[in-house]
Every structure is written in structure tokens, then in C-alpha cells.
A = this chain, B = another copy of it.
Amino acid sequence: MNKRQNAARKSEKQKKSLSTADWEEAALDVIAHQGISQVAVEPLAKLLGVTKGSFYWHFSNRLDLLKAALKRWRESDRSIIERDILSIEDPLKRLKAWFNLSAQPLRSHLIYSTLLADRQHPVVAKTLKEITVERLAHLQQAYRDLGYEPEQARQQALLAYSVYVGYLHMAKTLHGRLQDSEAIEKYAQYVAEQLMPKQTSQKPA
């Protein structure tokens, strides 16, 4: 038998030794629910059932872990967007897909929402700025493709994205979590109607 420890360390499955990715994922889980400040190596180690002796084998320090975790999140998020949004050719459908995705209760949103709170942290600030600029560009392009003039497309993209960010906050503030009920569905529908060009004119005044 080549399984490593014949005694299960704490709960289920024979735990093999941890990989760098395991630490990153654990960090992301903590970020999603508690924020950057709670990503502390000793508590995290306890969470994973080891001590920090292990941590400092995988990472040189705490910052190193944060960078790696954020990079991992960013890549996964980007691949989702590329697969589910940017691949859509019809700009109206693409925009709808944006709104639809935004209303979905994904861990990625949870992480983004928490990162917004931790924007003081230099590493977080850098990541946020990058991802925000990127998404704004995509949104602007969508509105451009719908016939908006560049400047108006920019404003509209900013507006739409503000609604997204604002919603994330409101949900957490008012309910302590991201909603999953029908209420959000109705609201998302309403928002989409407000933020998408009316049928009556392609190029609004």
C-alpha cells in the first residue's frame, strides 16, 4: 500500500501531504468568508490540520501566499468570463450574460466582494485595479458593439459596473450574505431593463 498515513489525520479520507494549491484554496476560502486579515498562517495551518512548519516549506512568507492565492483566483475568474461571456458574439446577449452572471451566487463574487473591503492592502489594490479596468473595458466594448458612442459607452459601463459593485455591498450589508432567493432574480431583471438599451432605439439620445 502506498497510501501515506494509515491513520486518518482528523476527519475523512487518508490525507496526503498538502500541496501549494491546497494552501491557496484554503486561503481563498478564508478570504471569501472573512477577508484578507484573517488569512493568518498559524490559524490557517490549524484549519488544515498541520502546523506552520508546513507552511514555511511551501511559501516564504504570508505575503507570498496572498499573492499566489489572488493569482489563482484571478485566473479562474478570467477563464469563467472568457468562456461564458466573451465568447458570445451578439452584444445584447453578451450583455445579458454579464448581468446574469453577476446575479449568480458564485464564490468568485464572494471573494471579489470581500477583496473590495480589503483594498487597503497593496497586493489587493493592485489586483482589484487590474480586474476592474479589465472588466470595464469588456463592458464598454459591449456597449460600443450595441451602437453607443465611445464616451457614452464608457459612462454606461462605469454605471453598470457600479451597480454590480454596489449590489454586492448592499447584499452583504443588508442580509449579511449574497442573496439567492427569487428577490434577487426580480431585481436583476429590473436592473437589466434599466441598463440595457430600450427596444425603441439602438442609440439612445
Q: What is the interface of chain A, defined by CB distance below 8 A to chain B?
A: 34-35, 37, 116-120, 125, 128-129, 132-133, 152, 155, 158-159, 161-167, 169-170, 172-174, 176, 186-187, 190-191, 194
Oligomer copy total: 2
Q: Indicate if the CB atoms of B159 and A194 lie closer than 8 Å.
A: yes
Given the contacts A129-B174, A132-B173, A166-B165, A159 and B117 also touching, CB distance less than 8 Å: no
A164 CB contact (under 8 Å) in B35, B116, B166, B194: B166
Which residues of the other chain, B, contact A120 by a CB distance below 8 angstroms?
Answer: 34-35, 117
Q: Indicate if the CB atoms of A158 and B173 lie closer than 8 Å.
A: no
Distance (Å) between the CB of A195 and the closest chain B CB? 8
Distance (Å) between the CB of A123 and the closest chain B CB? 14
Complex Cα–Cα for A119 and B186 (A): 26
Distance (Å) between the CB of A63 and the closest chain B CB? 17
Complex Cα–Cα for A98 and B115 (A): 28
Distance (Å) between the CB of A170 and the closest chain B CB? 6
Which residues of the other chain, B, contact A119 by a CB distance below 8 angstroms?
Answer: 117, 169, 172-173
Whose C-beta in chain B lies nearest to the C-beta of A152? Answer: B190
Closest 8 CB pairs of A and B: A162-B166, A166-B166, A165-B166, A117-B117, A155-B190, A165-B169, A162-B163, A162-B167
Whose C-beta in chain B lies nearest to the C-beta of A193? Answer: B205
Which residues of the other chain, B, contact A194 by a CB distance below 8 angstroms?
Answer: 159, 194
Which residues of the other chain, B, contact A170 by a CB distance below 8 angstroms?
Answer: 132, 158, 161-162, 165
A165 CB contact (under 8 Å) in B128, B129, B152, B165: B165
Complex Cα–Cα for A161 and B164 (A): 11
Q: Indicate if the CB atoms of A173 and B37 lie closer than 8 Å.
A: no
Complex Cα–Cα for A159 and B35 (A): 26
